[in-house]
Chain A
Amino acid sequence: MKVNLSEAKNIIKKYCAKEGALIPLLQDVQAIYGYVPEEVVELISKELSIFPVEIYGVLTFYAQFYLTPRGKHTIKVCQGTACHVMGGGEILSYLSDTLGIREGETTEDGIFSLERVACLGCCGMAPVIMVDNDFYGKCTIKKMEDILSNYQKEKSI
């Protein structure tokens, strides 16, 4: 698939004169494309005279950036201390087994991406997962089945 670069050009224009703008620039790019495409990295490199290696250095340093397209829904499984103590690890391995993907990967049908996060800050409701922008607290394996099937059903509608 060819990447449309016109939006990336606008973002670069917005940031080109600002100091220390690389990270917010990449964040905006990801907000538009869902990930940071190779073509956009090349474009930034050319327009702002930054070596690609420097841009990739930043991209791979921070957990937030993706270099491949993401699934339609991103499941973030909290692995904070409270969630760990309350069974968050079991939730993560259940999701990983059921979806057949490891953390950081996307299912073949492109519906789910699975991620671990250090702490979602809802320790009182541990274990917690977040699907896109929705929180689900006091998670159990049974509850995971229901949540997954709800999102899967949505696809068939």
Chain B
Amino acid sequence: MEIKILICMGTSGVSAGALEVERNFITELKSCGLDKKCKIVHTGDRGLFRDVLVDIIISDNRITYQYVKPEDVSIIVKEHLLEGEPVRKLQATEDYEQFFSGQMRIVLSNCGEIDPEDINDYETHGGYDALKKVFQISSQEVIEEVKKSGLKGRGGAGFSTGLKWEFCSKPESDKKYVVCNADEGDPGAFMDRSVLEGDPHSVIEGMIIAGYAIGACEGYIYCRAEYPLAIKRLKKAISEAKEKGFLGSNILGSGFSFNITIKEGAGAFVCGEETALIASIEGHRGMPKTRPPFPAQEGLWSKPTLINNVETFANIRHIIVKGAEWFSSIGTKESKGTKVFALAGKVKNTGLVEVPMGMTIRELIYGPGGGMVNNNIPFKGVQIGGPSGGCLPEELLDTAIDYESITKTGAIMGSGGMIVMDEQTCMVDIAKFFLKFTVAESCGQCTPCRVGLKRMLEVLEKITCGEGEEEQIIFLEEMGSAIRDTALCALGNTAPNPVLTTIKYFLDEYDAHIKEKKCPAHVCVELVKFEVIEEKCIKCGQCYKVCPVSAVVWQKNDYAKIDKAKCIKCKACINICPTVAIE
């Protein structure tokens, strides 16, 4: 009987110490003679991004350990493997169970379960079955199946994948390309990286199938250079797939040939826009172009080009194997299948969650998310869709997660970033944060985006440092809608969304900043006085201990005081104060 030991080796697992944990397992197993009976499997992240997870699987019995430290390994080996008694105190708790129950894992089904650097492991989990299946049907039938499934592009805009494939299949051309958009630049979204790190073959398989369907024999994966582990695993996966005959010429004797090249991005958010991405692959500045012509007609090197995102490609093999009918049975009338969200911010469980379309935002936050991190600080808003998305208030928590419902609120599905915010988050500051990001990332080509966003940011900066005026709200709204209507590409069109939605749903906070010169969440430092309110101070001295520049004066049994000449406004004292006694 073989014992399987799964160790999470994604970026966060490794940074939490997974390498030492593995090393200790190897030495411990050797010293007790179990090394021949056990198989250690390196998996990608399962979605929690916080600790080292270790699973011990003995026949059908599976025990998950969480927060495993290198020194815990000897206890696990001794008590669980030798004596047959699982180590209760290290076992995954309710939080872990809650995080995974309520999820429906299709795209992420292999993440954290298989060894991404071993093609055999992928194959035993049904890998490349879809590819074998498509060679038995015509390319037209493949496109029909994808169309029937109702899959929409997961990159943000939500265009029908099947239709896109059909458009690309139509033009006659000596050459066509399939491009995988893995330039995940949205601050707060990391599902693509996780799929590439945890299950790279699923993306490769999806791309080969797309190539077969539209008649392309060359593919590119455009991946952010900030994802070194993803690139390493993709390279390994591509070479393994070549060896096995899934890539290269005459794949599995079908007569169809396909090759994939990896292109590393160089750090520009706008390259996630498809025409900018094409310019970047061609070696130029990543500047978007007006459409039409669409890439499906004239894309890379002016040839018809299909561009889909990582999550979209990862869905394909499941649709082919299980059928369009199965896929379209999941989700809502207009939005089929599941969506992966990167849940972060002030929720208990942060990480990647995959849920069926149609689940409400509330069910997601209080289900897999486990609710707010601090029960005493209430929920304020949730930001969906990153810099192109919007902030939604409590009243809209029962909005269903599907493309149509989310767009109606003024936010967008985007790539699936979801940041939960509580009363300690300032909504004006959040709007400013996203605008700062888009201003920095604007390619500068069109005036509305280059100049308009900058003017909006200047106004927000004034508001957050106490120099705001009432008519500026109208200015922000007018400028925002003008940019939305006139900017050249999706980056510019959607960049005002965070400002427009916060004005729509959190106007009172703008008012507090402008009229009362106050930041209710104590985030905007210019509006914080850094004074101790003696009635609230409990003389605990925590602020004194945490201050990095010794600006807090405190003695036992006395109120704390802040020396404003020394204070660098880092807010360490405000963050640690248990009674919110610093204003």
Contact = CB atoms under 8 A, between A and B. Distances in A.
B386 interface: yes
B15 A134 contact: yes
A121 B225 contact: no
A120 B226 contact: yes
A58 B283 contact: yes
Contacts of A124: 12, 48-50, 344, 350-351
Contacts of A136: 15
B502 to A, nearest CB: 14
A69 interface: no
Contacts of A121: 11, 184, 190, 193-194, 226-227
Contacts of B186: 119
A63 B226 CA distance: 11
A28 to B, nearest CB: 10
Task: Among A19, A79, A84, find the residue whose CB has the most chain B CB atoms closer than 10 A.
Answer: A84
Contacts of A82: 188, 344-345, 350, 419
B572 A90 contact: yes
A124 B228 CA distance: 19
A153 interface: no
Contacts of B67: none
Contact of A141 (B50, B225, B425, B572): B572
Interface string A106-142: 0000000000011111111110000001111100111
Contacts of A22: 283-284
A81 interface: yes
A67 to B, nearest CB: 14
Nearest to B194: A121
A122 B548 contact: no
Task: Among A65, A121, A133, find the residue whose CB has the most chain B CB atoms closer than 10 A.
Answer: A121
Given A134-B15, A142-B548, A118 B185 contact: yes
Contacts of B189: 119
Contact of A90 (B264, B421, B571): B571
A145 B15 CA distance: 19
B546 interface: yes
B570 interface: yes
Given A123-B350, A126-B344, A27 B264 contact: yes
A63 B570 contact: no
A123 B266 contact: no
Contacts of B284: 22, 58
Given A21-B283, A58-B285, A141-B548, A122 B11 contact: yes
B350 to A, nearest CB: 4
A140 B282 CA distance: 42
Interface string A69-96: 0000000000111101111001001100
Contacts of B386: 81
Given A81-B345, A119-B186, A120-B226, A125 B268 contact: no
B312 interface: no
A121 B269 CA distance: 14
A63 to B, nearest CB: 3
B578 interface: no
A128 B266 CA distance: 21
A136 to B, nearest CB: 8
A86 B264 CA distance: 30
B388 to A, nearest CB: 12
B96 interface: no
Given A121-B190, A121-B227, A135 B11 contact: yes
Interface string B262-298: 0111111100000000001111111000000000000
Contact of A118 (B50, B263, B269, B344): B269
B280 A23 contact: yes
A116 to B, nearest CB: 9
A127 to B, nearest CB: 11
A45 B206 CA distance: 39
A72 to B, nearest CB: 19
Given A125-B50, A142-B546, A64 B185 contact: no
Nearest to A19: B301
B346 A20 contact: no
B326 interface: no
A97 interface: yes
B370 to A, nearest CB: 12
B305 interface: no
Interface string B380-398: 0001001000000000000
Interface in B556-573: 568, 570-572
Contacts of B570: 90, 93-94, 141
A148 to B, nearest CB: 12
A78 B9 CA distance: 21
A83 B193 CA distance: 18
A122 B12 contact: yes
A5 B193 CA distance: 36
Contact of A81 (B187, B268, B280, B285): B187
A81 to B, nearest CB: 4
B447 interface: no
16 contacts: A19-B283, A19-B301, A27-B266, A57-B285, A81-B188, A81-B417, A82-B345, A90-B570, A121-B184, A122-B49, A122-B190, A124-B12, A124-B351, A125-B12, A125-B50, A140-B572
Given A61-B443, A65-B266, 7 more contacts: A57-B285, A97-B568, A121-B11, A124-B48, A135-B15, A137-B16, A141-B572
Closest 8 CB pairs between A and B?
Answer: A124-B49, A121-B190, A63-B267, A81-B188, A62-B266, A82-B344, A135-B15, A80-B187
